[in-house]
Structure 1
């Protein structure tokens, strides 16, 4: 009777009552989540032949009663958390054919008594903490096919008799501290060998040529074994799939071994890294058409890469880094359609970067062309690598601007462009790199302001902009709030708003700081005198008349035309994250336009709201006829239809990072917790800015304008706390006296403005102090 409960999602301790199933011959509880110790009651199952507890979370020692069952043929306790040593009593299971104890935490030495298991065909003790020597007695097992001892702490010399076990098909002892001497006739002694994995085992001498006579070989891993001499020709191994001879002292000779590998039609992986091989790659490399992975990294190879390399159309990974290759990269690489990793770094490749590389759309993990001699601009085709996770083109001689198309590589996590001669700004399109973790533009000639969007990249963990020519104010939020993750040194024209980044404070901020300190220093001892003087100054300013009315100079600047799609893209689809505030006639969003370096405020009108279309027209008319340093600057507008065919109207203004005066005066009403309040000096400066704006509107415009809705929420503050009057949706042109409200009118329909801020009196042609 067999009980198979494999992969059923079962958990908890293995129930001891299972020992009552006296007639059971096979028990399979593998691939579940059982924990606790193996119940000793299993030893009572005298008819049990197969026991599989693989891939659970069982702990403790292997119970001794298992050794008293002469019927056991198959024991698999692998991939658990078992401890203690391998019990001697297991040698009593004379019928045992398979013993799998790998992936546990077993300690101690391999019992020599295991050599008495005359029926054993598989012994797997890999990935434990076993120590000591390999018992020579294991070679007494006549039918042993698999000896798997990989990743332990075994030491000493591999018994020579192991290499006489003609039944062996899998001999794997890698990642121990073993030494061995491969017999020169190993290929004849182990004719059935399919897998030879002896990596990190110190092998003396060369690689035995007779190995090519083990015609059933499929895998050879002899990494870091100290082998030397010329690589033999393995062309007589038709089943060879994986060959790794990395980090030895092997030589290429006349490269005949590479040509012979064309006969190994099953070969998919070839690693020859770190051998110090010299010479040039032969054209015959193009005959290995079934390769999936090819690596010649960390050698001394030179010359040109042959164009026949393009024939390896199945390649997933290709590594030539750390050699002395020169010339240009062959364009035939563009024929690869399954490549995911490409590393050609640390060579002497020169010329322009081949555009063909950037057409390999399958590149999804790594593209490393760093530390070469590439020149010219970065091809715009780089934007086609939309699936790529890591790009490094650092330490070349590249010139020109960073391509804006790079912003299409939205899955990028690592971007390294340091050590070139790149110029211009960091393109705004890089704001689309939402997954970016590392970004390095250091040691170039980039200039302009550091874009604000870098502070919004929440995944960014390391940013290096050092030794460029950036200027202006450094953002203070996001990654810029952690100086250990940002490097800005060598940019002598940068400044900061806070001392956290070890940069000088921006000059305007320092000057403003001194001004505040001076005002406060004077105001404290004589507050009443200062207030009186300031009020007198306000009266003088507001009542003075200009003798000359300046003519309006309309800007000759090009006004960008905006579409609905432009507005939607700039606001991330009118995302709530971009929403700044709501008004009577619409909403205001923060956004980034492709032709503007700095963020903008986008006022989108709700045309279904009564009065909104008229408000749009009024605001356009007012802003078209005004220009003053204390009036909010309009950049452009959008008047079109949305995808549903409905009218769509929006105005784009200069963005004010310090929000409205309302939020500073009443932060508790807006859910803000300002760390500081407006000081007296700032309040005076803001009052003056508003007065200048009103004086301009009432007394200096060709046609006087009354705002009709002046209130703190319509006064915006920039980074330096300069005030700007905004929102002209209710503004009125006072062209003649006929536009005035009749003196005897008492209708509320004539009132304009917000409750609490409606000016006393009625607007008329006479200059007024209220709007």
Structure 2
């Protein structure tokens, strides 16, 4: 036997003189080679030519990405093709690589399923297939007894987490897939598991209690699933745990009081966007290794533990959007304590219920702070001077508080600042010129304060500024030229100020400008034609100014423009045809100017609901739905003849008529001092002539009951079809009722001189006699197809063509419309007009749910705060001034004295009613309890218990993201707080409509911005 063996060895050595042919066979395993070639065949694209070396001329152990064991026979132990751009499927033949230990195919474009054959590889220790587009289910890997790491994140896998995993398992990473179902309890049997990463899936149900067995666990990441139930106390047994991420689930309950003692090695704790409540456990500060603590968007209550300063390694503290409170200096001690967290970079307590002054010591030692978010609280006083000691501060967000005093000049020393958000506060004084030193500033938000003075021209030095919000202040002077020289400026909101002068022609330099809002100022002169050079503009609002001249035709070259509002100015000339070329234009408002000529019929002008042109009496043509008169065409020779007639005949005749009118007015002036006079609104007889009783009778089928759409205290309202209009609303006064005559006079006098998009537009009037020879008086309004706000609030879903669901955004918009109308009546019209009867039935809604205030039968035009120009003795009773439930309390004690503060009170009641959907005359309001006191008793902690259940269902909808729900709740609290400011018992304590409108606009803009 020994001889044979020796002979055999000799023969082998002899044959090895041809090493390529025979010796290679000892080192080459045909199964492994064929398996790898099958894998190559399944690759459809190899952009980096990674697999070029995979051929017969090279031993497969030397192929790119292949590693083999040293022992003979050579077998593949590692296949590593990470980030090679490979496209194709993973071949099932890899299941034949029986000695494979490491399979790394991550960051490619593999498709199809993970081959079940991988479950046969007993030597496999790590599978990393992350960041591909693999689909299907995770195969059964229970037989891979050596498997320690499984990373499958970033694919499109479905199904459940495998119930059984190898005993030697260490890390499971299957994040960002479409896995569904529950976490199997059997996973807890893998006691050597170190990391569990399953976030960004659709895993549902409770976290298994059996997880207590996983004593070796170091990292648990189960965020962004649909896990529910209470905080899993099983995790408290994992004393070695360093990272616990349960964010974005539906977990609830209170945190264990001893969580910090049970998890002393915890470094990362993410619990944000869940349903946790109760206090933040003080023991949490015993987890001294914590560097990231995120508990945002829950319902935590109580105060922030003052011992938070013990977490000296903390770099990220996020407690925003909870119900944490602070009522005194002691409750805010954590702000002093946090100075000990010298490594802290981000602090957010945004959207809580913190009151009081921020201590000046805040920020003294936390020099690493980069992000501070403390907005949407009730913090007050001056800005803490300790902020000046934060050289690395990038973002300072304090909006939605009650900070007062002037903005300090030291803000300009925060050289790293990129975001400064101080909107919705009570800051006074001017904008510090030192802000121009913030060379890195990107966002500057100072809207809705009480700032005055000029906009510093030096802000133009901020060459990285993108967003400038300073609307709703009392700024005056000109818009600085330098602002438009900032190359990055994209958002410019300067609305609701007192800015005057011309808009600089330099506006054309702002090539990146997307939103320009300059509404409600006193800007004058021509709109610069250079505005057409701002090719990125999407939204232009220049309404409520005193611009004159023509609309620049260059606006038609802004191809990105989506909304253009030039209403309520003194613009003249024709409507530029070039605007019809703007394909993206969705809203165009040119109303209440002095435009004339033909309205185009192409582009946006084809959609009558997308354009607003009312208040321009000389316009003609357009699409039929606009109901404009036809444009007349006059030959040239007739035009010259017409001019000649005007000069030789018309002008002298006009002069004589004018003289006669003056004499006539002087003749009857004394008589008018002793009797009431009826002043009709100024109508354009060419487009809608004065109507007679017979016209109105025909329009309403003889005032048929079938046409009756409403009744008021002084008359009835009918729907009718008059002339070319589809529908009008005709208010017929019942003159036999006491006060009806005065109501007609009052409404005519008020509506003669006012015009606003949120007032019900009056079309014409009728003062005649009816078929019986009796006095007849009526007013004709635009028909509002959505009816009134009372109908919208209290109609049932069974009513035909009505819907009982009103979204939060719709309610906000309605209240903003009402506030704008009352602000106009109180502050912007000719004299101060007090409506005297603000209530839901007097608020009408058009097709687009825009609200219009109507019924001015009780309105009074005030020369000053104590005088009414046409009040009479019959109107001095308290009952006359408004409607029960909406009447201000001072009317019962002051003898019915008219004031704008009474309108504010009525508006506040309407606001509360809109969000509670509960009438102020509800049976529950008795024994001294009214809707105002009811809301105040429950504000803010129990507000969800009293708001309209419709809104509550939206807040609790499982489909809406948690951040959106919290944003809705914050919005509700802000709006109801405004309502409570309006219904103060003392008129002197109430805010005025200017402040109400400004704050509601700010809340609406912020809410819509978050939900776009």
**Range class of TM-score, shorter chain:** 0.5 to 0.7
Question: For residues 717-742 of structure 1, what are the alpha-carbon distances to aligned partners after superposition, in whole Å with 9 as ceiling and x for unaligned?
Answer: xxxxxxxxxxxxxxxxxxxxxxxxxx
Instruction: From 390, 393, 407, give the equivalent of 1:329.
Output: 407
Asked if 1:71 corresponds to 2:146, the answer is yes
> Are residues 308 and 479 of structure 1, via their aligned partners in 2, closer, same or farther at CA, if it must alter by over 3 Å?
farther
Match of 2:451 in 1: 374
Matches within 5 A, 1:318-357: 318-357=396-435
Which region of structure 1 is more displaced relative to structure 2, 265-274 or 43-52?
Answer: 43-52
Match of 1:362 in 2: 440
Instruction: From 280, 284, 287, give the equivalent of 1:207.
Output: 280
* Structure 1 residue 438, shift from structure 2 partner: 0.8
8 Å Cα contact 1:461-1:479 kept in structure 2: no
* Structure 1 residue 512, shift from structure 2 partner: 13
8 Å Cα contact 2:121-2:143 kept in structure 1: no
Asked if 1:471 corresponds to 2:548, the answer is yes
Question: For residues 631-652 of structure 1, what are the alpha-carbon distances to aligned partners after superposition, in whole Å with 9 as ceiling and x for unaligned?
Answer: xxxxxxxxxxxxxxxxxxxxxx
8 Å Cα contact 1:72-1:95 kept in structure 2: yes
Question: For residues 89-120 of structure 1, what are the alpha-carbon distances to aligned partners after superposition, in whole Å with 9 as ceiling and x for unaligned?
Answer: xx241111111111101111111111111110
Matches within 5 A, 1:511-526: 517-519=633-635
Name the SS for the 1:294 alignment partner.
Answer: strand
Match of 1:132 in 2: 205
* Structure 1 residue 76, shift from structure 2 partner: 0.3
* Structure 1 residue 481, shift from structure 2 partner: 8.1
Name the SS for the 1:67 alignment partner.
Answer: coil
Asked if 1:37 corresponds to 2:113, the answer is yes
Match of 1:11 in 2: 87
Query: 2:343 & 2:619 partners in 1: Cα distance?
Result: 74
> Are residues 417 and 3 of structure 1, via their aligned partners in 2, closer, same or farther at CA, if it must alter by over 3 Å?
same
> Are residues 97 and 469 of structure 1, via their aligned partners in 2, closer, same or farther at CA, if it must alter by over 3 Å?
same
Matches within 5 A, 1:165-564: 165-232=238-305, 233-252=307-326, 253-254=329-330, 255-287=332-364, 288-364=366-442, 366-476=443-553, 477-478=555-556, 485-498=563-576, 502=590, 506=595, 517-519=633-635
Question: For residues 731-771 of structure 1, what are the alpha-carbon distances to aligned partners after superposition, in whole Å with 9 as ceiling and x for unaligned?
Answer: xxxxxxxxxxxxxxxxxxxxxxxxxxxxxxxxxxxxxxxxx
8 Å Cα contact 1:458-1:478 kept in structure 2: no
Asked if 1:161 corresponds to 2:234, the answer is yes
Query: 1:6 & 1:483 partners in 2: Cα distance?
Result: 46
* Structure 1 residue 488, shift from structure 2 partner: 1.2
Question: For residues 199-252 of structure 1, what are the alpha-carbon distances to aligned partners after superposition, in whole Å with 9 as ceiling and x for unaligned?
Answer: 233334311111111111111111132222221121221211111111222234
> Are residues 438 and 120 of structure 1, via their aligned partners in 2, closer, same or farther at CA, if it must alter by over 3 Å?
same
> Are residues 147 and 394 of structure 1, via their aligned partners in 2, closer, same or farther at CA, if it must alter by over 3 Å?
same
* Structure 1 residue 515, shift from structure 2 partner: 11
Question: For residues 145-194 of structure 1, what are the alpha-carbon distances to aligned partners after superposition, in whole Å with 9 as ceiling and x for unaligned?
Answer: 11211111111223323223212211111111111322222211111111
Match of 1:552 in 2: none
For structure 2, which runs of at least 5 residues remain unmatched after alignment? 1-76, 581-587, 599-617, 622-629, 642-1012
Match of 2:785 in 1: none
* Structure 1 residue 347, shift from structure 2 partner: 0.4
Match of 1:146 in 2: 219
Matches within 5 A, 1:684-763: none
Query: 2:619 & 2:223 partners in 1: Cα distance?
Result: 70
Query: 1:481 & 1:186 partners in 2: Cα distance?
Result: 58
> Are residues 512 and 165 of structure 1, via their aligned partners in 2, closer, same or farther at CA, if it must alter by over 3 Å?
closer
Query: 1:52 & 1:191 partners in 2: Cα distance?
Result: 31
Asked if 1:84 corresponds to 2:159, the answer is yes
For structure 1, which runs of at least 5 residues remain unmatched after alignment? 524-529, 531-771
Query: 1:7 & 1:473 partners in 2: Cα distance?
Result: 60
> Are residues 511 and 375 of structure 1, via their aligned partners in 2, closer, same or farther at CA, if it must alter by over 3 Å?
closer
Q: TM-score, normalised by structure 2?
A: 0.49
Name the SS for the 1:247 alignment partner.
Answer: coil
Query: 1:183 & 1:512 partners in 2: Cα distance?
Result: 73
Asked if 1:103 corresponds to 2:168, the answer is no
* Structure 1 residue 453, shift from structure 2 partner: 2.2
* Structure 1 residue 3, shift from structure 2 partner: 2.6
Question: For residues 512-545 of structure 1, what are the alpha-carbon distances to aligned partners after superposition, in whole Å with 9 as ceiling and x for unaligned?
Answer: 999992217979xxxxxx9xxxxxxxxxxxxxxx
Instruction: From 75, 100, 119, give the equivalent of 1:24.
Output: 100
8 Å Cα contact 1:307-1:331 kept in structure 2: no
* Structure 1 residue 479, shift from structure 2 partner: 6.6
Query: 1:239 & 1:402 partners in 2: Cα distance?
Result: 47
Query: 2:192 & 2:495 partners in 1: Cα distance?
Result: 63
Query: 1:157 & 1:508 partners in 2: Cα distance?
Result: 70
* Structure 1 residue 483, shift from structure 2 partner: 8.7
Name the SS for the 1:381 alignment partner.
Answer: helix
Higher relative helix content: 2
Name the SS for the 1:234 alignment partner.
Answer: helix
Matches within 5 A, 1:649-660: none
Higher relative contact order (CA 8 A, sep 6+): 1
Question: For residues 291-319 of structure 1, what are the alpha-carbon distances to aligned partners after superposition, in whole Å with 9 as ceiling and x for unaligned?
Answer: 01011111101111122311111011111
8 Å Cα contact 1:371-1:396 kept in structure 2: yes
Name the SS for the 1:423 alignment partner.
Answer: strand
Query: 2:227 & 2:533 partners in 1: Cα distance?
Result: 52
* Structure 1 residue 495, shift from structure 2 partner: 4.1
Query: 2:638 & 2:333 partners in 1: Cα distance?
Result: 91
Which region of structure 1 is more displaced relative to structure 2, 450-459 or 366-375?
Answer: 450-459
* Structure 1 residue 24, shift from structure 2 partner: 2.1
Name the SS for the 2:428 alignment partner.
Answer: strand
8 Å Cα contact 1:347-1:372 kept in structure 2: yes
When the two chains are superposed, the root-mean-square deviation of aligned CA atoms in Å is: 2.5
> Are residues 172 and 180 of structure 1, via their aligned partners in 2, closer, same or farther at CA, if it must alter by over 3 Å?
farther
Match of 1:743 in 2: none
Name the SS for the 1:230 alignment partner.
Answer: coil
Query: 2:557 & 2:388 partners in 1: Cα distance?
Result: 42
Name the SS for the 2:280 alignment partner.
Answer: coil
> Are residues 97 and 512 of structure 1, via their aligned partners in 2, closer, same or farther at CA, if it must alter by over 3 Å?
closer
8 Å Cα contact 1:480-1:486 kept in structure 2: no
Matches within 5 A, 1:586-601: none
8 Å Cα contact 2:575-2:596 kept in structure 1: no
8 Å Cα contact 1:306-1:330 kept in structure 2: no
* Structure 1 residue 284, shift from structure 2 partner: 1.1
Name the SS for the 2:536 alignment partner.
Answer: coil
Name the SS for the 1:396 alignment partner.
Answer: coil
Instruction: From 78, 86, 99, give the equivalent of 1:2.
Output: 78
Query: 1:41 & 1:512 partners in 2: Cα distance?
Result: 78
Asked if 1:56 corresponds to 2:56, the answer is no
Query: 2:597 & 2:335 partners in 1: Cα distance?
Result: 68
8 Å Cα contact 2:412-2:435 kept in structure 1: yes
> Are residues 498 and 69 of structure 1, via their aligned partners in 2, closer, same or farther at CA, if it must alter by over 3 Å?
same
Max radius of gyration: which structure?
1
Q: TM-score, normalised by structure 1?
A: 0.64
Name the SS for the 2:451 alignment partner.
Answer: strand
Name the SS for the 1:18 alignment partner.
Answer: helix
